[in-house]
Amino acid sequence: INQKDSVERELKKVLGRKLELEKEKLMKIFLIKERLHLMQAPLDKFQMQGKLYQEFRTFQIDSAIFYVNENRKIADGLKDPLLRNEVDIQLASLYSSAGRFIESSRILKGIPRESLSSEQEADYYRAYSDFYSHYGQSTNHYQYFSQSEVYRDSLLNVLPKSSEEYRINSATRALFGNNFDKAETELLQLLNEYKDPHPQRAVIAYLLGLLYKNKGDQDSEIYYLGLSAITDLKNSVKDNASLQSLALVYFERNEIDKAYLFIQQAMEDALFCNVRFRTIENSSFYPIINSAFQEKEQANKNQLKTFLYTISLLTILLLVALLILYMQMKRLKKTRKDLKALNTELQGLNGQLLKVNQDLQESNHIKEEYMAQFFELCSSYIDKLDNTRKGILKRVANNQVGELIKDLKSQ
């Protein structure tokens, strides 16, 4: 069993548990909300609403925006510029994902870079890089992707080189810079360090899927995109790219059923999360895959109709054959009955013939007895006649005429 087949089976299994995993996510959110209701201090509320932002960020953007706006009110009330910067960067990033690019750009331009902390500076460059990436995907103008890479370079300049984010972005830069060997080495190393279901594992596996797509290795592409999708599903991440990419690669392989399943899931997730650029991307592919799926379904229906017609015809022929067979069996039964009666009659006649034969044998035996007796009697008469002849000759020879006449007169 190869890796691709095993990850396909695991993905289908996790898709079957999708609702169960979402319930666990919602329960986690519910518990955080319960704790939020108990908070009184503004900073405590800010921190708890920040946790809700993190939970909703890749699950439901509108809810994430709501809690960030709630934190903005707290930041404005406390007049804390660092808190305000944090909120603005988060909001700009969310607006960018939701397709509200004008608002996102306005917020980013309004953030005073000199007032940012070192951590916020990294968040700022990341937000700008994501903004241009999302804008490029929404407009299909590739110059925005170049701008995104410029901000990625700025992000790498401020990140500690030992941090996981630096390493992931470094590998991403190598990937998009067509330095596939470097990207492959770094990404595989990172993937080994993160165990399922760590959220970063989904990002790393997705990048590996893109890498093998560029290399033309579809089996490896499916394997790593599958790993990414499994991790996203386990973490209930609705803002995901792996399902859409899987749908496309299966469509290229003419595996329409799988392509349709994954593009549907990707579309549902994008709409639920309200990730505008992903919805636009999915919308461009969904009609093509859906059309191919409908054509296949229609072909299957036509084939099924053909099978039904064939089966119906065969059923009719079978019924006719059964009717003919029934009539033949009925005739055979009658013939057997007649043969049985004839056989009985024949047995009777045979018995009679046997009796006649026995009678004839007995008659023949009697005749043989009579004939034997007759032959014996005849033989006796012949002997007597011969003896008489000899006696006559003797008497004639001896001139005993008187004795001869006496014998002849005798009874």
pLDDT in tens, the chain (411 residues): 478 889 999 999 999 999 999 999 999 999 999 999 999 999 999 999 999 999 999 999 999 999 999 999 999 999 999 999 999 999 999 999 998 999 999 999 999 988 898 889 999 999 999 999 988 888 777 789 899 999 999 999 999 999 999 999 999 999 999 999 999 999 999 999 988 889 999 999 999 999 999 999 999 999 999 999 999 999 999 988 899 999 999 999 999 999 999 999 999 999 999 888 788 777 777 788 888 878 777 877 888 888 889 899 899 999 999 999 999 998 888 888 888 888 888 888 888 888 888 888 888 888 888 888 888 888 888 988 888 888 888 888 888 888 888 878 877
259 within 8 A of 237, measured Cβ to Cβ: no
CA distances from 245 to 69, 110, 249 (A): 33, 35, 6
pLDDT, position 58: 92
- Rounded Cα distance between 72 and 403, Å, is 185
Assign 111 to helix, strand or coil.
coil
CA distances from 356 to 63, 342, 361 (A): 115, 20, 8
208 within 8 A of 224, measured Cβ to Cβ: yes
Residues 6+ apart with CB under 8 A from 53: 64, 67, 68, 71, 90
- Please count the CA atoms within 13 angstroms of the CA of 372 that sit on its side-chain side: 6
Residue burial 369-384, b: 16+ Cβ < 10 Å; e: rest: eeeeeeeeeeeeeeee
pLDDT, position 167: 94
221 within 8 A of 229, measured Cβ to Cβ: no
pLDDT, position 123: 94
Residues in the chain: 411
Return the structure tokens found at 192. Answer: 């080994």
Q: Which residue has the tokens 């991307």?
A: 281
Residues 6+ apart with CB under 8 A from 112: 85
Residue burial 56-82, b: 16+ Cβ < 10 Å; e: rest: bbbbbbebbbebbebbbebbeeeebee
* pTM of this structure: 0.74
Measured at the CA of 205, the angle between CA 199 and CA 210, to 5 degrees, comes to 135
Task: Count H helices and E strands in the chain, helices first.
Answer: 16, 0
260 within 8 A of 290, measured Cβ to Cβ: yes
Orientation angle between helical segments 180-193 and 199-215, nearest 10 degrees: 150
Range list of H helices, 140-198 = 143-158, 164-176, 180-193
